[in-house]
Structure 1
Amino acid sequence: MSASNDWIARADRRIMKTYGRYPLVAVRGEGCRLWDADGKGYLDFLAGVAVNNLGHCHPKVVAALQQQATQLLHCSNYYHIPSQIELAEILCEHSFGERVFFCNSGAEANEAAIKLARKFSREKHGEERYEVITAVASFHGRTIATISATGQEKVKAGFSPMLPGFKYVPFGDIEALRAALTPSSCAVMLEPIQGEGGVNVPPPGYLRAVRELCDQNGLVLIYDEVQVGCGRTGKLFAHQHEGVEPDLMTLAKALAGGPPIGALVAREEHAATLGPGTHGSTFGGNPLVTAAGVAAMKVLLEDGVLENCVTMGEYLRGRLEEMKSRYGFAREVRGQGLILGMELSIEGGEIVKTALERGLLINCTVGSVLRFVPPLTVTRAEIDEALEILDGILAEIEN
C-alpha cells in the first residue's frame, strides 16, 4: 500500500465525511507547488481555496511564525497583544476601517457582522430593525446564522429551521434590492464578487447604487471580503475597484498567509456598538496568527504582490478567453485579478478529477464553473504549464 493510500484508509476510519475529498494526501508545499505523501507534485491553482495568496509557506510568514512560537503562543484577550494591535493598525491604515475585531474564520467574522448590524440598528432605529438582506447564490459560512444568510438552498438542506431575519435578492439587481426593503430592514450583506456562487461579478455601478440605497434608508452596508479580499482581485480589497466603502467588512482566508484567522473591520460609529461582554473569541487574534498576519500584510503591500496579481490575472484571463473560443462547451470567462471562472455548458466535476490526476489542482463551483484562484505570486510559466494540462483535457472532451 502506498503512503497516500495508507493515510486515506486511516482517514476513512476516523474523520467525519463532511468533505468529498479527492485522493490526494498533502504533505508539503512551496510557492505554487504542492506535494503528496508519495512525492507527486501538483500545480496548485486552488491555493487552499484562496487562502495561500502568497503561495505555500512564504518564507516571511514562516519566519514570523517561528519567531513568535518561541515567545508566546497564546494569551487571553483580557490582555493586550502587540501583534494583534499592529495587524489592526495595518488594516485600518489601508482601509475605511477604524476598529477591528479578530476571530478565527470567515463564518465567525460574518457572525460578528450580523450581530453588530442588528444591535446597532436596534439601538439607533428601534426594535423592529433586524432583517439582513443578502444575495441569491451568496455564501457566508457554515454556522446556523451564516447558512441562514447564505442564498443557496443546498447548504441549508437538513438544518431547518433557519435563523429568521434574512431575505435574498438577485445579485447585481438594484431594483430588486430596493423592492425588498421594509421597515424591518437593518443591513445589506454582499460579496463584492461572489466566489462559491460561480465567480459572479456585479455590473458596473451596482456597489455604488447599493451604498446610496443604504445611506438613504439608514442601513448598515456589509461587504463579505473573506474570499476576494487581501489582494485577490489586484487591489487590497475588492470594493476598492469601485471606490465605494462599506460600514463593515469581513476578512479571513488569506489574511495570515495560511494560519486560521478572521476579522471584522468597522467604522468607529458602528464598532462602538459592541462593548465589553457583547462579543468575544477565545483564540481570536492570538499572538501566533496575528504575527503571521502582520508578515503577510507587509508582503502584500511592499513586495509587488498586488502588481503581479494584476499582470498575471490579465494574462490568465486572456489565455482562458482564447481557450474558450476553441471549445463549444465553454460559455464565459469572468472574474477579476486572480479569481477567475470559466462557465461551461457541461458538468465540470470530471474535469477537476482529471486535472488532479495530471498534476493540476482547480475546483468547480455550482456544478459547471471551473474556478482558478492560484497564489498571487504565480508566474507566467506556471500559468502556461497549468493551461497546457487543462487544454489537453478540454481537447479530449471536444473530440
Structure 2
Amino acid sequence: MQTSFSPEQLADPDNASSEKIIRTCVHCGFCTATCPTYLLLGDELDSPRGRIYLMKEMLEKGGPPSPRTVEHVDRCLSCLSCMTTCPSGVNYMHLVDHARAYIEAHHVRPWPERLLRNLLAGLLPDRAGFRAALRLAQATRPLHGLLPGRLKGMAAMAPARLPGRDVAEAPRVFPAEGQRRMRVALLAGCVQPVLAPEINGAAIRLLNRLGAEVVVFAGSGCCGALPHHLGKADQARALASANIAAWRGELDDLDAIVVTASGCGTSVKDYGFLFREDAELAADAAQVSALARDVSEVLAMLEPPGGPAPMGLTVAYHSACSLQHGQGVSEAPKALLRAAGFTVVEPREAHICCGSAGTYNLLQPELAGALRDRKVANLSATRPDVIASGNIGCLTQIAGGTEIPVVHTVELLDWAMGGPRPAALSSR
C-alpha cells in the first residue's frame, strides 16, 4: 500500500512504525475471512483492510480524526485473527494501538463516552478500586435499573459474591517442592485476582509441584493492556514501567515471567516494542519480553506427568485470541489437557473471538453479545462437560451465556495432579 507521510511526520517513531506496517499490506483481503466484525456486519470498513485505509488516511492527514474513522476503529476487537491469516506479515496490532492512542489525543468524545472510558481505565487496573466498585454494585443491585445506558450493563456483570483474596496479591516466595528446577516471577494482574483468585492459586500449586519456585515481586501489578487498548498511552506505559522496575534487578536470575491471563501475556511480550525508544528502559523491557511466557508454555517445559483425568471429563477448549493470535500459542494448552487424561474437543470457528476483548464487551455490548452467543453455540455443540480457556476475559464472557461450567486450563491441570476440584465443577 502506498503512503504519503511527510518527512516531519516520519520523524515521529510511532508514525514511522505505522508507515512501514501500512506499506506491508498488499490489499489481498485474506483478513476479511477471519475478522469477527466483518463476519457480523459485512462492511469493508469493519474489516482489517478497510480499517488500515482509514488509519492511513487519519495519520497522513493529521488533525482530528473523522467520526467515521473513530467509529470503525472503536469496533475493532484487537483479536488479531487478521495477523494469523495475513500472508504478508502485517503487524496490525501495533498499527491499531497507535491509531487508538492518536484518537485519544486528537478526538473529543461525547462526555458520557469519556466518563465511561475514564472510569474503566481508572478502576480496572486498580485491584482495590475494582474490588470496592464491585462491592458497591452488589450493595446497590436493586437500583441497577435506574442506571443510564452501558453503566446498567456494567453493573449487571458484577458477580453475586466476591471470592477471597488471591494468594499472589502480596509479595511472596512460593518454594518449589523437592529439587528446584526453575525460578519464575508471577504477574499477579489486576482484574483476575479480584474475580477469580483461584486461577493464580492453581498455577502456583501446579508450578511448585513440578519443581518451580514462584516469586511475586513487590511493585508488579496491572500489565497496562486495559488502558493501552483504550488509547491511554501514558497510563499504559506507567503501569508497564512499574512492572519492569519490579523485576529488573532479578531478570538474570529468572527462567521465566509467568502470566496466567493471556491478554496480559500478549502485552508483556510487547514491552520491548513499547519501550524501544526509551534509553533507560529499552534493554530491560526487551529482556522482560524475552522472559514472558504464558503459564501453559512453562508447564509444557516442565512436562507434567500424565494420568487419568478426574471423572473422565470432556473439555471444550476455547483458544483465547490473545493466546492463539497474539502469542502464537495454540497447541500447548490442548496437549497438556490431553496428557492429563481429559478428552479435548474444539468448536467450529475456533479462531473467532468470543467478544470479550478487554473492555470491548462493556464498550460495544451489542456486537460483543452477538459474538458471545455465536461462540457459546459452537462450544455447546461439542457437548462438553466443561469449557476451558486461558484468559479471564473469555472465561467471564462465555460464562455469561451458558450453564456449562467454565474454568481456566490450569485449574483442570491442578485438579488432575491432586489439587482441589474447581469451584465451577462443585455441582458435578
Same fold (TM over 0.5): no
Greater RCO, CA 8 A, separation 6+: 1
Compare the two structures and name the one with the higher strand fraction. Answer: 1
TM-score normalised by the chain length of structure 2? 0.29
Compare the two structures and name the one with the higher helix fraction. Answer: 2
TM-score normalised by the chain length of structure 1? 0.30
